[in-house]
Structure 1
Amino acid sequence: MSNSSMYKRIGILFNDRMLRGVAVGKTGQEKLAWYEEAASRHEVIPVYFRLEDVDMHSMQVKAYMRQGKRYVSRKIALPRVIHNRAIYTNPRYDRKIQTIIDRGYILYNQVNRYGKMTIHEILRKDPYLYPFLPETEIASEETIHTLMKRHQSLIIKPNNSSVGKGIMKMERTSRGWQAIYPTTPRLGKQRWQQQRTTGEVIPQVILNRIRKAKSTYLVQQTLPLSKYAGRPFDLRVSVQKCSDRNWKITGVVGKVAPTTTFVTNVAQGGAVVPFEQLVGASLPNFTAEVLLNRVSNFSLHIAHVLANILPNVADFGLDIGISPDGCPLFIECNGRDQRYSFKEAKLLQLWKATYENPIAYGASLLQPPSSSS
């Protein structure tokens, strides 16, 4: 194999389960065809592998490459540029990734899942962003009581979960408080129940779940989200680095909570609605162009702030709300945007672009430095 062909390869790092799906053509929400199409345009060859198959002595890896209409496994030199789509919870994998980087390889999106509190602590230090963040604390009986005195509604959610799993809500009633919580941690069409208390008493189900949880919960004020047909909505904003190595907004799509709950996540039954349709019906005093500019500038600012602290980031899926007075509000940051919101909204070109930009960025990193005259 020539040096030039090795030079043009770009690695895509998957978890074990996703990589097993490559061989049989079942990769869930990950659309390999869009990687291949983008790679062809940018004259690179995508190869798919898992961290376990990287030999740190020879710096070779067993990887899958497309051959005709199927994928075959071959042992090749580890690509110099790697797009990370895996999430690891074992520290030894983090150490292996860091060693690869220390040896001169470029691996972007080095960590794909940060705790919500980690992100919040970074953003709250920025004076521009601070007014648009929910007040947030590590959940305990004491901190919940503190926020109960300041707000009429609270969100309680796991620090490290995704797609809305484990989220609960507390609302003030005429007599006290009520908890709204899922009966099961499983995803899909969950059943939601309520538990009421009188006075300033925290519903017992909230305390029980926090105390029994294996990981930390957060408590935060409920943001004043605009509503579409009486249902709260937020936006998924894809912010990515592209071929010029600068941040750009790839796409924006709305997520509307079902009538049965407050959670907008698509995995929890939320509906995707095009941005223009949402804001036209919900915020008639603002043009879609004005709101899109506000959301875009806000999201780009978030990306720049995070990129100054977090290592080797190139891809964020931001959940952004809009208040009734047209202000963007920060909800969450997803390090590994699953990208399917654009698919569900039938926004095919935006869906493809969420795959193309990371490949374009990686291809730009493969280019030799331009010689100055």
Structure 2
Amino acid sequence: MTLANQLKWEKLADKALAGEKLSMEEGLSVLNAPDEELLLLLHASFRVRYHYFGKKVKLNMIINAKSGLCSEDCGYCSQSAVSEAPVEKYSLLRKEDLIEGAKTARARKAGTYCIVASGRGPTRRELNEVIDAVKEIKEKYPLKICTCLGIVSDEQAKQLKEAGVDRYNHNLNTSATNYGNIATTHTYQDRVDTVQTVKIAGISPCSGCIIGMGETKEQVVEMAYSLRELDADSIPVNFLNAIPGTPLQGMKELNPRYCLKVLALFRFICAQKEIRVSGGREVNLRQLQPLSLYPANSLFVGDYLTTEGQESNLDLQMIEDMGFEVEEATHE
């Protein structure tokens, strides 16, 4: 490795810090970076992360508020209509259960608590239940509340905002050019429109992707471009955990080094945004999980929707061992 190799990645960091967008060629160079230069690449991405977030790590926790019973055919999802995965199926949890989940999130030092419900979109009853729970949670705990309820209308978004919802998650999941290979019961544009709807309502948009679903490297760069253009405040980067019984079962395209390069790419392209290492990090990053904190500034703690996550105490220990610090929630 030469000084020229190091300067190549530092120049991308300089470009990101100047607010400039990487070219497709530059983006691909990150994804194609030689493994021998991985630490140089991570150092450059850390410069950008440190500039905007220091050594703080945001923690997020999700609750699977409604499981299965979904009409959509998303190929990656164990809860979809086409999934044969043996997941637990239940209707929306009681308000008391949602509030108890917030208590757990607080105990795990999470700053954001995300209420996730399967389905194309919420029914009136489901929306009202979530709204009632959010109001009570906001009174009790200094948590940011994120909801993920599928496609919502302008009026539903306004109701969520009035209830105190801080953030709404609706992932793009993959690139526009790959979307038809992943789902057919709704479109990529439906997802973009939903993100725009919650933005107009005054809710902070959370939107990200799933890496490892047969997309090309060019399409990975396109995803980062799209999320930059959407101006999503929080970007969860998931890595496919191909659950048996789903259409994408058996797909295994990723290795830990490539996952780190993807995170570096998103940091360079969406420099000022919360980049969160999300679903599939344990099975895809494996022993390299700690290095993800150099480009990313956010993690999920606890379990995911239908799969188990790493124990929270191990996440906290990892953060401490790496010399980072949890950004705890406080009442504003």
Normalized per residue, the structure richer in helix is 2
Normalized per residue, the structure richer in strand is 1
Task: Determine which structure has more spread, i.e. the larger CA radius of gyration.
Answer: 1
Same fold, TM-score > 0.5, yes or no:
no
TM-score (norm 1): 0.23
